[in-house]
A and B are shown apart, each in its own frame.
Chain A
Amino acid sequence: DTAVSQTPKYLVTQMGNDKSIKCEQNLGHDTMYWYKQDSKKFLKIMFSYNNKELIINETVPNRFSPKSPDKAHLNLHINSLELGDSAVYFCASSQEAGQLYYEQYFGPGTRLTVT
């Protein structure tokens, strides 16, 4: 069974479109994250949710909106896509945030290409 899954794996779309990426974890973790990894492999956190509540919101354009319908799911919706949004987006989950940083389990990634 896949621990953290994301759909779709690949997404090619045109500038100006709106798209969503879905993430699900079956590990029973309380905390989920979205990361963006650019072409130089730099991994940067975007959002973190703990028990459906937003706890980290980094400096990300408000075109990006995360939604957590329950603690096993964290979706990312992107409005008005721009060329600079092209990257690999990783979802991750962990046991707990705040006190210690436990192992984060990463999904397979969604490669977004904006043309």
Chain B
Amino acid sequence: EDKVVQSPLSLVVHEGDTVTLNCSYEVTNFRSLLWYKQEKKAPTFLFMLTSSGIEKKSGRLSSILDKKELFSILNITATQTGDSAVYLCAVGGNEKLTFGTGTRLTIIP
């Protein structure tokens, strides 16, 4: 069965800190890895990664995939209180997305 594991489960940091969220996976027929941010309601899309070693960047957020070691990281620099959310990693394989349990990030002002 496909498996996606995220760490840490929760993280509390001060505003301005840099954080790294981890996602490791075991998926048959890997297609792509996606990162989502979930605040109070629906998950919203951040990145889709398909190739190893190519960094995707959007403002203070960046992500990279390692298909050999089967993991991805999501970096957030200069964190702000608006970054507080649950960050979900999902991996596509065998015609479905499998989600991890998420990392709950809390930014203290």
Contact = CB atoms under 8 A, between A and B. Distances in A.
Nearest to A48: B96
Interface in A42-100: 42-45, 48, 55-56, 58, 90, 97-100
A11 B97 CA distance: 26
B99 A42 contact: yes
User: For this complex, into which size category does the number of interface residues on chain A fall?
Assistant: 20 to 34
B31 A103 contact: no
Interface size class of B (residues with CB under 8 A): 20 to 34
Given A43-B88, A100-B31, A104-B45, A55 B95 contact: yes
Contacts of A48: 95-96
B67 to A, nearest CB: 14
A43 B95 contact: no
Contacts of A100: 31-32, 50, 92
B31 to A, nearest CB: 5
Q: Is the interface of B mostly helix, strand, loop or mixed?
A: strand
Interface stretch (B11-19, B36-44, B56-64, B70-78): B36-44
Contact of A108 (B32, B34, B42): B42
Nearest to A56: B96
B102 A41 contact: yes
A100 B38 CA distance: 22
Contacts of B44: 106
Contact of A101 (B31, B38, B86): B31
Given A90-B42, A109-B41, A97 B95 contact: yes
Interface of B: 31-32, 34, 38, 41-45, 48, 50, 86, 88, 90, 92, 95-99, 101-102, 104
Interface of A: 4, 40-45, 48, 55-56, 58, 90, 97-109
Q: Which 8 A-B pairs have the closest CB atoms?
A: A101-B92, A106-B42, A43-B99, A103-B45, A101-B32, A106-B43, A56-B96, A41-B102
